């Protein structure tokens, strides 16, 4: 797998406040390109096959205990391999002292080693979470992202389809704007996170009016910096000859964003339709389906019950 983006050691150290044990300022310029960590049990035992050398190494109590029973010449050989030019850094958990041979090898190679007071499991989770966010695959989409009833809703459609006007209506109804016109997205784990470019943050473009400052007009509560994209509502011009969902038991639609399928609803735009209310209704129905209630299946059930009732009545006659 290829990872998009890079982080240098200095970014990580500044964020977590690790104590530096070895390495000078230049050593902090090493790149981290893989959002994962390695506890080098097999490597310390001499098995390096299938090792991903670009991962940050974390040495916890188990590794410390294993290192302590290794002969010094073996330690030196193993440490020279795990402190090569590909390994970004080593972090010692629980403020443990650096093994002396490892420290010597690292000083000779100007290799960065740090200490953290965090337990090993927490250190692993925190570093992976940080790297996942900073190295996440990213893209930019055309649309409007809002938080509606606690769900991140990406509204898409052709230019001029009324996306920003619908957003304004929803904001007036108490919902929250994340981004208008351009939505920057990143994949973190299996979720898609959307946010606004810094230049456009808090702004909404309304044709005929111009750019409006949502925070100034509606208050800080009308804005969020980022949100998950839970569903996509795609607007398209109403076509009397097209087939649109009527019952709701049609095949589910999805929009693929960074290889993640996002549930999608297509809403035809037509004069006289209250689009804000339609978007709210679509989100409420989406939440009901998440909680196990399917309006379409409930309607089908009523239809079958009505047919059975009519057939029973005919049989009695």
Catalytic residues: 142, 163, 181, 246
Q: Is 309 helix (H, G, I), strand (E, B) or coil?
A: helix
Residue 143 to residue 182: CA distance in whole angstroms: 6
Please give the structure tokens belonging to residue 20: 């530096």
Residue 120 to residue 132: CA distance in whole angstroms: 18
Q: Is 283 helix (H, G, I), strand (E, B) or coil?
A: helix
Residue 67 to residue 74: CA distance in whole angstroms: 9
By C-alpha distance, which of 311, 184, 205 is closest to 257?
184
CB-based contact 252:172 (threshold 8 Å): no
Count of residues making up the chain: 317
Alpha carbon 42 to chain centroid distance?
A: 31
Q: 37-44 long-range CB contacts below 8 Å, 24 or more apart? A: 37/124, 37/127, 37/128, 39/63, 39/120, 39/124, 40/82, 41/66, 43/78, 43/81, 43/82, 44/70, 44/78, 44/82
């Amino acid at each position: 797998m290829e990872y998009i983006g890079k982080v240098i050691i200095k970014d990580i150290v500044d964020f977590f406040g690790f104590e530096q044990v070895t390495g000078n300022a230049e050593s902090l310029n090493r790149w981290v390109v893989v959002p994962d960590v390695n506890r080098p049990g097999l490597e310390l035992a001499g098995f390096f096959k299938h090792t991903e050398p670009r991962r940050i190494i974390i040495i916890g109590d188990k590794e410390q205990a294993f290192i302590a029973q290794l002969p010094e010449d073996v330690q030196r050989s193993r440490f020279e391999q795990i402190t090569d030019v590909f390994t970004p850094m080593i972090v010692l958990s629980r403020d443990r002292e650096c093994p002396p041979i490892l420290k010597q090898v690292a000083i000779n190679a100007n290799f960065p080693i740090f200490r953290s007071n965090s337990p090993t499991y927490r250190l692993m989770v925190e570093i992976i979470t940080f790297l996942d966010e900073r190295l996440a695959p990213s893209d930019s989409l055309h649309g409007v992202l809002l938080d509606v009833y606690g769900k991140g809703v990406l509204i898409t459609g052709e230019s001029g389809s009324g996306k920003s006007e619908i957003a304004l209506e929803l904001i007036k109804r108490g919902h929250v704007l994340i981004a208008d016109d351009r939505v920057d997205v990143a994949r973190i784990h299996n979720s898609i996170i959307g946010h606004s470019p810094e230049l456009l943050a808090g702004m909404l473009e309304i044709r005929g009016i111009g750019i409006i400052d949502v925070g100034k007009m509606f208050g800080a509560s009308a804005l969020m910096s980022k949100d998950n994209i839970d569903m996509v509502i795609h607007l398209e011009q109403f076509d009397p000859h097209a087939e649109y969902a009527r019952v709701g038991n049609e095949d589910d639609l999805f929009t693929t964003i960074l290889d993640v399928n996002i549930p999608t609803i297509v809403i035809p735009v037509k004069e006289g339709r209250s689009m804000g209310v339609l978007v709210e209704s679509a989100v409420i129905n989406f939440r009901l389906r998440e909680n196990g209630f399917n309006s379409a299946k409930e309607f089908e059930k009523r239809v079958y019950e009505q047919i059975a009732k009519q057939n029973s009545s005919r049989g009695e006659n």
